[in-house]
Every structure is written in structure tokens, then in C-alpha cells.
Amino acid sequence: MPEGEINPTIETPAITKKETDFPKDTAGRMDAIIGSFNIPLRASTLLVAGTQENPTVYSLTKSLCGLLLGSEMGYIDKTAVTQYCLSLCKAGFLREESGNFYLTDAGKKYGMPAAAYTLLYQVDHGFSLYPIFGISNSKNKERKSPWTRAKVLKSLESGPKREADIISEGFPHSVAKSFERLATAGAIEYSSVTPQTYKTQVEYKLPESHPSLSELELKGDPRPELLKEVAKTTLILKDKNVPITAINLLQHLPRELRARWDNLVLQGEISRAFSELTRQGFLDRGIFKGGEIQSNATLSEKGRSTLSLIHALEEACQDGPALQEFQNVILPQVLRSLGVITRETADLYYPHSVSFLLREGGKKRLGDLQEALGKATQEGLTQYDIAKELGANPYTVGKDLRFLVKAGNIVRVKRNNVFYYLPGEEAA
């Protein structure tokens, strides 16, 4: 039999271990599929298992390493393959018997075709699905992030939404994390107000027709001089083409004025002045509105593209025409070119993998991060402070911080619901 083809003569051995039932509902099936094939090498693992008569961890690892030759990742170890196989068992696509991992009926009918489709999709579109769907959260069966993120994208198909809108549809309150991850992956455009860390990037605009400085109502205002200074500074920001936000305005206020105020008190006064200037028609507030609009998410082009994959997989889960196309056209095509496709999807996935963090730029990033923390005050730095200092993505910095905390290199403390990070020697 030619290599890379399913052997139709393979007889399914008697089941000696419990087999996980594949869900009968569409949502359950999508959860299993997206949670399994968010990592391309797990999809390739299932396809390789379907071509072997007695697939063991050793034989699967050997085959996958052969397929990965020439890729950036280079190889895969037995531990990773074992974890892939066990997770595919939990999804209902494989079953374990005496050290072998055999395809289930669901694995043959739905698993392999869906795995092939997700691999080909990533090759055709040039991006990995892993940053979009993330990793499965096995510790909380009610909140598996891949399917949650897919449902968030589906919800946004009808138009922009707030976090509150999504939560009202039955999503957990932690959906904000899904928004942040999807935005980092480029699947959505997302902005949010987070006043507790003073990262409130509410942007104001000067309307075409607004009162002059001399026309502002200063009588009765508790801080009339400050109100006028804030208004003058907004004009300066506009002339410099700098976004009118609280942080930018604070940085552009006269130095002598800033020296007269406690920094935190001044921040609060700037927010109050913005509200008053908006009331007087001198400023227009952006999309955020206190107590009503605290976040906004819209689909990006990549997000809309990913929706096409989600819809095709849903149709396949419902035994629609997409399933026949996956089985009869896409699966044979991918099996014929499994080596090339595995390498290409592995290269797309590799920059987002743990091994990339450890093998490539990870050590330098971790060193830069620790150096930045070494300059911190006794209060420490927040994740966003460090990201700004390094000019890095806050999400990437957050992953590195968790890695260093777990390793004991740095410490994390919580004050006023905000996490601050300090060098390890400060723990005492």
C-alpha cells in the first residue's frame, strides 16, 4: 500500500479500554475539533495514526520527525506526541489499547477530514490558527478557550460589540481575556477602558465648532485654572497630531503645574476636566462612555477569514456537503502532500510555541525583562509598564512574566486589583 494512504483493510481490534463518545451535538463536536486541531502537529498526529496499522507513540514520533525534517521546528519528542494522542482520545478521535492508538469511527468520519481541512486552510491563508484559538483549558471543562474564542468571533459577525454584550449572551465574565488574545492574534480590533491601572486610553476629539478658551465657563468650577490649562493643552496636542488622551495630556502639561500636584490626584483631575470640557462642547468623547461603553470589539479581515473556516467545520459537524468535500477531496490531497503541509504549518506555528520561546529569542526577551525590572521602584512595575519600557506586546510580556514567576526569578504582588512585578531579591 502506498505510504500516506488510509489502509481500508485494517480491522479495528477489540476495545479493552473505555472509548470516549464523540458528541452528537454540533457545539460539542466543534469543541472537540477546534480544541484538537488548534495545534497543527496534533492534526498531523491524527492523520499519521490513520495511515499506520499499529500506531504507537514510538512509530508516530518517528513518522512525525521524518515529516518535520527541514522545518524550523525540526523534530518532536515522544512526550509531546503522547500528550497529543491522549488529548485526541479525550476528544473521541482515538482510543488507546495496549500502547497503541487506534482511530475511532468518529476519528475516521470527522477527525481526519477536519484535521486535513484545518491544515490546508493554514497553508492557503499563510497564518497559524493557534494564536487565534489558543490552547485548550483542560482544568475547566466549562471554559475551553478554543471553542470560546470561536464563539466570540461568531458573535461579532453581526457587528461591533462590548464585553457586556457578549457576557449577556451567556459567555463567562473572563471573556475579556478572549478579546485580548483575539486582538493580539489580529482576528479582531479591540480596545478597552481599564481605569484601575490608569491605562484608560479614551481618545477625545476637538469638534469642528467648539467654544474658544475665552468662552469656557470657569465660574463655579472647583479648579478653573486647571480646567483652562487642560483645554489649552488639548489644543497643543491637536497641533502636534498627538491623540488627546489622559496620559498624553498629563505628559504635556507644564512641568511647574505637574510639580504642584500629587501625580494620582492630578490624573483624577484631568479626567474630571475632560468630562467638564465634553459637557461644554469643547471636546467630543470617543467610543467609550463611563458606565455604558467600556470596551469595543470588531472583526478584522483575518477574523472574517477565520469565520469561513468555522462555518465550514460546523457544516461538516452537521453531516452537510462540507463533510463530503473534506472526505473526498481535501483529505486525499493533504495525505498526498502530508510532509510539505506538516512542515509549512509547523513553521507557521513555531513562532508561537513554547520551544520558540526557549530556543530562539526567548532567552534575550527574558533577560531584557529582568533588566527592566531591575530598574523598578520598590512598588514594582505592571505588565503594561514593562511592555511600554521594552516596546513589546503586553500579551507576550505577560507570558514571559508568568514563566519567570513560576521559575522563581521574579515575584508578583497584588495591590488594588492590579498585579505588580519585582525582582526576586525584593521578595524578602
Q: How far is CA 210 from CA 204, 214, 231, 234, in A?
A: 13, 11, 11, 12
Q: With cut-offs at 50, 70 and 90, classify the pLDDT of residue 42.
A: very high
Predicted local confidence at residue 354, as pLDDT? 65
CA 147 – CA 51 distance, rounded (Å): 28
Mean pLDDT computed over 347-372: 73
Q: With cut-offs at 50, 70 and 90, classify the pLDDT of residue 427.
A: very low
Residue 378 has pLDDT above 80, yes or no: no
Tens digit of pLDDT for each residue in 236-255? 998 888 888 877 888 888 88
Predicted local confidence at residue 335, as pLDDT? 97
Is the alpha carbon torsion for 106, 107, 111, 112 positive or negative?
negative
Q: Range with the lowest mean pLDDT among 2-6, 49-53, 210-214, 396-400?
A: 2-6
Tens digit of pLDDT for each residue in 65-123? 999 999 888 889 898 899 999 999 999 999 999 889 999 999 999 999 999 999 999 99
- Percent of the chain beyond pLDDT 70? 83
Predicted local confidence at residue 394, as pLDDT? 81
Residue 3 has pLDDT above 60, yes or no: no
Q: With cut-offs at 50, 70 and 90, classify the pLDDT of residue 363.
A: low
Residue 7 has pLDDT above 70, yes or no: no
Predicted local confidence at residue 15, as pLDDT? 43
Predicted local confidence at residue 380, as pLDDT? 81
Helix then strand then coil, in percent of the chain rounded to 5, is 55, 10, 35
pTM of the model: 0.63
Higher pLDDT, 222 or 155: 155
Phi–psi pair at 190, nearest 5 degrees: -140, 135
Is the alpha carbon torsion for 290, 292, 294, 298 positive or negative?
negative
The β-bridge relationship of strands 295-299 and 188-192 is: antiparallel
Predicted local confidence at residue 198, as pLDDT? 38
The per-residue DSSP string of 40-72 comes to HHHHHHHHHHTT-SS-BHHHHHHHHHHHHTTSS
Predicted local confidence at residue 25, as pLDDT? 95
- Percent of the chain beyond pLDDT 90? 40
Predicted local confidence at residue 213, as pLDDT? 87
Tens digit of pLDDT for each residue in 277-311? 988 889 887 655 544 445 678 899 999 999 999 99
